Amino acid sequence: MENKALPFKRFFTELSPENQKILLEIGTSSVVTEGTKLFSEGDKPEFVYLIRSGKVSLSKMTIDGKEISVHLKQKDELVGEVGLFNEMSISVTATVQEDAELVRFETNRLEELFYVNGEIAVAFMKWFARHTQSTQAKFKDLLLCGKSGALYSTLIRFCNSYGIEHEKGILINVQLTNQDLANYIGTARESVNRMLNELKKKNVVMMENGFIVVMDLKFLKDYLHCGDCPIEICTI
């Protein structure tokens, strides 16, 4: 049986076909290679990007110069900044992690569109709110739940964003090294090695062809005392 992706709403799919077409008409399409920086922390906000294929990572530098991965965005999601429509500098760096087809929108063109198209304006408002809540929740987990809780939270978020049904649980359909996970929780790779080995011994996770399979999602959620927050908030 073919594995099925878990349900997860993305910005572009929430628009009607007519408004999808209207939005694409004011953007500029391009193919961008892996490693390209779309914008950097501290830049002036000028653009919002819609991902049509590929993946884009968002990261932030700590005060001691350490890079922490914050989000990994995929098809039909937006890449931008909650401060794009004010004078605040961008607070993250966006890097293309997998060759991507993007549509770039100038913020002034978007603002003009919002005056005449309420559905698109509301969709952007919802995206801004979800993006903000998701980022806040992620940093709360990092600060309040310790290294184990931060790892568990990150695994749950990857399940929600990239999970597909698997006979033994949920397969995270993006290859993650232990160093990748360490970057998401701001710790050393050796710490992630130890925590993952503990989870494997407890039959909470397993590896299959380089992919992580979460076999006991409830264990991770119970540790974090997860509530009933919308899946869109608990994403990566």
Residue 100: per-residue pLDDT: 98
Asked if residue 199 and residue 152 are part of one domain, the reply reads: yes
Asked if residue 155 and residue 98 are part of one domain, the reply reads: no
* Dist. CA 169–CA 219, nearest whole Å: 12
Asked if residue 123 and residue 67 are part of one domain, the reply reads: yes
Q: What is the mean pLDDT of residues 117-127?
A: 91
Last residue of a domain, one of 91, 108, 141: 141
**Looking at residue 22, which CATH number applies to its domain?**
2.60.120.10
Q: Is residue 208 assigned to a domain?
A: yes
Q: Is residue 187 assigned to a domain?
A: yes
Q: Which residues have C-beta within 8 Å of that of residue 199, sequence separation ≥ 6?
A: 205
* Dist. CA 50–CA 27, nearest whole Å: 9
Residue 179: per-residue pLDDT: 96
Q: What is the mean pLDDT of residues 175-199?
A: 95
Asked if residue 208 and residue 103 are part of one domain, the reply reads: no
Q: What mean pLDDT is reported for the chain?
A: 89
Q: Is residue 192 assigned to a domain?
A: yes
Q: Work out how many domains the chain is built from and give that number.
A: 2
Q: What percent of the chain has pLDDT over 70?
A: 94
Residue 2: per-residue pLDDT: 45
Q: Is residue 230 assigned to a domain?
A: no
Asked if residue 91 and residue 45 are part of one domain, the reply reads: yes
In one letter, which amino acid is 22?
I
Asked if residue 136 and residue 27 are part of one domain, the reply reads: yes
Residue 1: per-residue pLDDT: 36
Structural domain range at position 21 = 11-141
* Dist. CA 166–CA 205, nearest whole Å: 12
Residue 8: per-residue pLDDT: 65
Asked if residue 136 and residue 21 are part of one domain, the reply reads: yes
Asked if residue 172 and residue 110 are part of one domain, the reply reads: no
Q: What is the pTM of this model?
A: 0.87
* Dist. CA 163–CA 236, nearest whole Å: 11
Q: Is residue 158 assigned to a domain?
A: yes
Q: How confident is the model at residue 95 (pLDDT cuts 50, 70, 90)?
A: very high
Asked if residue 97 and residue 84 are part of one domain, the reply reads: yes
